[in-house]
Amino acid sequence: MSVDLERLRESLLSEPGGNDFVQEDGGEGLPLTPAAVLFPIVLRDHGQTVLLTQRTAHLRDHAGQISFPGGRVEADDASPVHTALRETEEEIGLSREHVEILGYLPEYRTGTGFRVTPVVALVKPPFELALDSFEVAEAFEVPLAFLLDPSNHQRHSLHYRGALRHFFAMPYGDYFIWGATAGMIRSLSERLGLHAA
């Protein structure tokens, strides 16, 4: 099953930022570090997939988690697109010549103090990856239709910093996709109108 790319494009914001944002449980009132991620939709013959990474276990932020390629905004980054493409090239070696930017999801404010701009893009195969072994343990693809299907969105909770926090998760095989990554996927599925009112 494939997602209609025109409908996908129309569901996105044409500019980053704005007043619309998603607030993760537990992040209210935190000082926020700007960041950007690439939400890479790969155009495979058998249907679109999403390219995700598993972070290495020793990293300070979000160690071992499934994530989109991306990271903190640096001083010489001209835009969230620049940050997302630069970080993607650094982390997994995906050249920007394979990437077509479609638009943006609302800023995602994490419970760990980041305000993340998700940059949604199409990725055209064939391409080769070269993983930064310090940051990335693995890169893999998950069908976009699976991730967008609300029946695959689970609600979980855990105690963090003295309070019960709620979050989405989308388990896929041996991968437990949760937290900010799952939240951004959920944001796209909601903008596509895939959830009952």
- List the single range of 18-22, 40-44, 143-147 with lowest mean pLDDT: 18-22
Q: 99 vs 161, which has greater pLDDT? A: 99
End-to-end CA distance of the chain: 24
Residues in the chain: 197
Confidence bin at 31 (pLDDT 50/70/90): confident
Amino acid at the residue 11? S
Instruction: Tell me if 22 sits within 8 A of 13, measured CB to CB.
Output: no
**% of the chain residues with pLDDT over 70:** 92
Residue 1's CB: how many other CB atoms inside 10 A? 11
Residue range 53-94, pLDDT digits in tens: 998 876 565 557 899 999 999 999 999 999 999 999 999 999
Domain extents for the chain? 5-147
Confidence bin at 13 (pLDDT 50/70/90): very high
Phi, psi angle pair for 162, to nearest 5° = 80, 10
Q: What average pLDDT score do residues 167-192 get?
A: 94
Confidence bin at 184 (pLDDT 50/70/90): very high
Residue whose structure tokens are 């129309």: 10
Q: Is the pLDDT of residue 100 over 60?
A: yes
Q: Is the pLDDT of residue 163 over 90?
A: no
Residue whose structure tokens are 């969230």: 80
Q: What is the mean pLDDT of the chain?
A: 90
| Rg of the chain in Å (alpha carbons) | 16
Of 115, 116, 87, nearest in space to 99 by CA? 87
Q: What average pLDDT score do residues 111-135 get?
A: 94
Q: What average pLDDT score do residues 115-120 get?
A: 97
Give residue 30's region: left, alpha or beta (phi > 0; psi -120 to 50): beta
133 in helix, strand or coil?
coil
Per-residue pLDDT, 62: 54
| pTM of the predicted model as reported, rounded to 2 decimal places | 0.92
In whole angstroms, what is the distance from residue 162 CA to residue 151 CA? 30
Q: Indicate the class that CATH gives domain 5-147.
A: alpha beta
Per-residue pLDDT, 63: 57
Q: Is the pLDDT of residue 197 over 60?
A: no
Confidence bin at 122 (pLDDT 50/70/90): very high
